[in-house]
Structure 1
Amino acid sequence: MDGDNTKQKPRTFRVTSFDVAAEAGVSQSTVSRALAGDPVVSEATRLRVAEAARKLNYHVDNNAARLRTGRTGTLAVVVICRPDEDRKDLNPFTYSLLGTICAAASARGYETLVSFQDGPQNLSGRYEEQRKADGIIVIGTTQNQAAWDYYRELGESGMHWVCWGSPFDDSEWIRSDNHAGARLATDHLIEAGFRQIACIGSLDSLQRQFGERYEGYAERMREAGLEPWLVEIEEGLSREEQGRRAVRALLASGKEFDAIFAVCDEIALGVLRELTEAGVRIPDDCGLIGFDGIRASAHAMPPLSSIQPDFSAAGAMLVDKLLAVIAGTAHEQRRVPVTLLARASTRRG
């Protein structure tokens, strides 16, 4: 019969989170948490669930999930700039950090909404109220007090937020291990034979990292029986210009020095250019090391030694801390590990 020759179409079954749970060997609730990026779920479990979902071709219904949980599935990232600063002139460190934040959010199933803000005309952080994001990560310069005051006030009103390099110790922040990094930089200079080591930085800057870096430098200097020496930067200038002016003050003082630890790479690059123009040879006459590990430091002449934070860890820690804040759970990690990048600017002989 004709009917006997008719091929039956195979039935299609919709894969559910229960199927993924069975494949991964976890509960259905764990699947939901893992695919939503909940920091309660371990990285190993999250990866196992993600692999099971990929194998079964399972995709989360984001619209249904948002309706069910009240979450947007988006994290806002606000980059604070100096007023009227051209975006192409932003510290390269900021762009590196921004990239790792977006990558970490994506790995946890979140989209990112990025905004560059510098003044009253564009300060806007009410993403949660407007149902545009579940929380905010704030990064960028501390040379914009008004912007940081604005976000601190929003945070006090209940906004979920975390920040990098906050001028406020009472906010939820992530920073480099500045103290350990400065000790590492100073120890590197001492081991290279330098003894009259000046630090170009600040104890009073809203950039709390600078004070932490000076303290690490000063501690290691005293341990070595050497006298710490701080050359203060001028506030309100670009980092490069701060470095240049600090060198002018250093040379005008008449005090002998054979090395400089600059508390950030952009300051160090200004130091390098000013010393070179003054006829001071790096590293023969003066060793030089910075902090931040920005890409431009590797292409300086000579290449600049630096202390580099683990950028991938920084992005992941910022995202995980924000997700913990949103979930109301603990996340105690605050310090990003650092490593020494030893280059020609500190290499004698």
Structure 2
Amino acid sequence: MHGIAMGIKEIAKEANVSVATVSRVLNGTKFVSEELQRKVLEAIERQGYVANHVARSMVLKKTFTVGLIMPVVSELYHQMIFTHAEFILEEAGYKVLVCRVKDTAQSVQSYLDLLLENRVDGMILMHETSNPKVLEQLKKSQIPIVLTGIDIPGLSFPQVRIDDYQAAYDGTKYLLAHRRKRIALIGGWGYSVGDKRLEGYKTALAEAGIEFDSSLIIPGLYTMQSGSQAVNYLIRERIEFDAVFALSDEMAVGVMKELLEQGKGIPSDVAVLGFDGIELGRYTNPTLATVKQPIEEIGELAAERLLAMLNGEESEDSLILPHSISSGSSVG
């Protein structure tokens, strides 16, 4: 077919109706009887005329849009997941509506409402929430949803993620193997992923015979600035530490900047370990050691799993991907 005009003419001929009638059915501009609408839609299906988004939606009862909710923190990490997911989805003919939410119940609720009102066919959720109203709305949404990089207790949707407990355990063991004993941990607590990482850290310390010290647990907002602020706090409060395990690479970059500005050697005085494995860490000086997530795979597999569900296929509850430790001169 040569463009939309040629397609409409062929459909009109196939359905034995006027071009104007086809246009009205496709655009919904004027009333068309059910009989004429049925003839046009059947002709569209026979002709395979699916290039027009409206026509395809009417025939297949889909909007061919997918919602993606991601937090504003750890932007480079989440952006990489989104980029790889979007490529897979667009190849399959879906457009992605992206919502970047602040960590408030109102923000999550408003964007969820927006996506459902726009009748998205499915959703990739990268933001963890514990708000009861939001959780209930997700359960009642009746669309395929894939939890990506997160684990929300009480929701039975398929997940694509790493084992956060094991990853933090392995990261802590890595620092312990480099003879670090006073390991500060910077991250967010009170949600599933953060709490699992905290437990992994605690277990590794206990196995090494090191008593847990709550003064080394510092809240962070997964930004470079919050990493810098956390180190400033540790030094200002004269809390002894010989390593920092920052639960995002962006925080780790802020940690290293502050340490160097405070005259600390990396790793001679303080070792620094990040989490995620974003490309930025390769270009820092010193280079950043990190717990590496398979970010590209997470994005691609989340999109593929969602597409399978949109096609009516059954999906397993969780897909737990392997992590690894990427060495860098920030640890030695």
> What does residue 184 of structure 2 align with?
198
Specify the SS of the correspondent of 1:331: coil
CA–CA separation in structure 2 for the residues paired with 1:117 and 1:307: 25
Distance 1:153 1:62, change over 3 A: farther
CA–CA separation in structure 2 for the residues paired with 1:291 and 1:216: 13
Shift of 1:202: 4.0
Matched, 1:136 2:123: yes
Distance 1:227 1:120, change over 3 A: closer
Shift of 1:127: 4.2
Contact 2:249 2:274 in 1 (8 A): yes
> What does residue 63 of structure 2 align with?
72
Matched, 1:337 2:322: yes
Contact 2:249 2:277 in 1 (8 A): yes
**Which amino acid is the alignment partner of residue 116 of structure 1?**
C
Contact 2:65 2:97 in 1 (8 A): no
Specify the SS of the correspondent of 1:163: strand
Q: What's the % identity of the aligned pairs?
A: 24
Q: Which moved more, 1:96-105 or 1:167-176?
A: 167-176
Distance 1:238 1:257, change over 3 A: closer
Shift of 1:263: 1.4
170, 174, 179: which one pairs with 1:184?
170
CA–CA separation in structure 1 for the residues paired with 2:69 and 2:75: 15
Specify the SS of the correspondent of 2:324: strand
Shift of 1:287: 0.7
Aligned 1:145-294 pairs, distance under 5 A: 151-160=134-143, 161-166=145-150, 168-171=152-155, 172=157, 173-204=159-190, 206=191, 208-230=192-214, 231-234=216-219, 239-294=223-278
Distance 1:166 1:70, change over 3 A: same
Q: Which moved more, 1:289-298 or 1:319-328?
A: 319-328
CA–CA separation in structure 2 for the residues paired with 1:182 and 1:238: 15
Distance 1:213 1:249, change over 3 A: same
CA–CA separation in structure 1 for the residues paired with 2:177 and 2:147: 35
> What does residue 14 of structure 2 align with?
none
CA–CA separation in structure 1 for the residues paired with 2:112 and 2:181: 49
> What does residue 123 of structure 1 align with?
111
Distance 1:222 1:80, change over 3 A: closer
> What does residue 29 of structure 1 align with?
none
CA–CA separation in structure 1 for the residues paired with 2:303 and 2:245: 31
Shift of 1:289: 0.2
Distance 1:185 1:272, change over 3 A: same
Shift of 1:66: 4.9
CA–CA separation in structure 2 for the residues paired with 1:272 and 1:179: 24
Contact 1:298 1:304 in 2 (8 A): yes
TM-align CA RMSD: 3.2
> What does residue 17 of structure 1 align with?
none
TM-score, normalised to structure 2's length? 0.70
Specify the SS of the correspondent of 1:346: coil
Contact 1:135 1:159 in 2 (8 A): no
- Superposed CA deviations along residues 229-257 of structure 1, whole A, max 9, x for unmatched, are 4534446x563333223223322443432
Aligned 1:29-108 pairs, distance under 5 A: 62=50, 66-81=57-72, 91-107=75-91
CA–CA separation in structure 1 for the residues paired with 2:70 and 2:132: 14
**Which amino acid is the alignment partner of residue 203 of structure 1?**
W
Shift of 1:279: 1.0
CA–CA separation in structure 2 for the residues paired with 1:97 and 1:214: 23
**Which amino acid is the alignment partner of residue 164 of structure 1?**
T
Q: Which moved more, 1:184-193 or 1:284-293?
A: 184-193
Shift of 1:159: 4.1
Contact 1:244 1:270 in 2 (8 A): yes
CA–CA separation in structure 2 for the residues paired with 1:183 and 1:238: 19
Q: Number of aligned pairs? A: 273
**Which amino acid is the alignment partner of residue 152 of structure 1?**
L
Contact 2:187 2:219 in 1 (8 A): no
Shift of 1:62: 3.5
Aligned 1:302-317 pairs, distance under 5 A: 302-317=286-301
Shift of 1:156: 2.8
TM-score, normalised to structure 1's length? 0.67
Shift of 1:324: 5.2
CA–CA separation in structure 2 for the residues paired with 1:150 and 1:81: 21
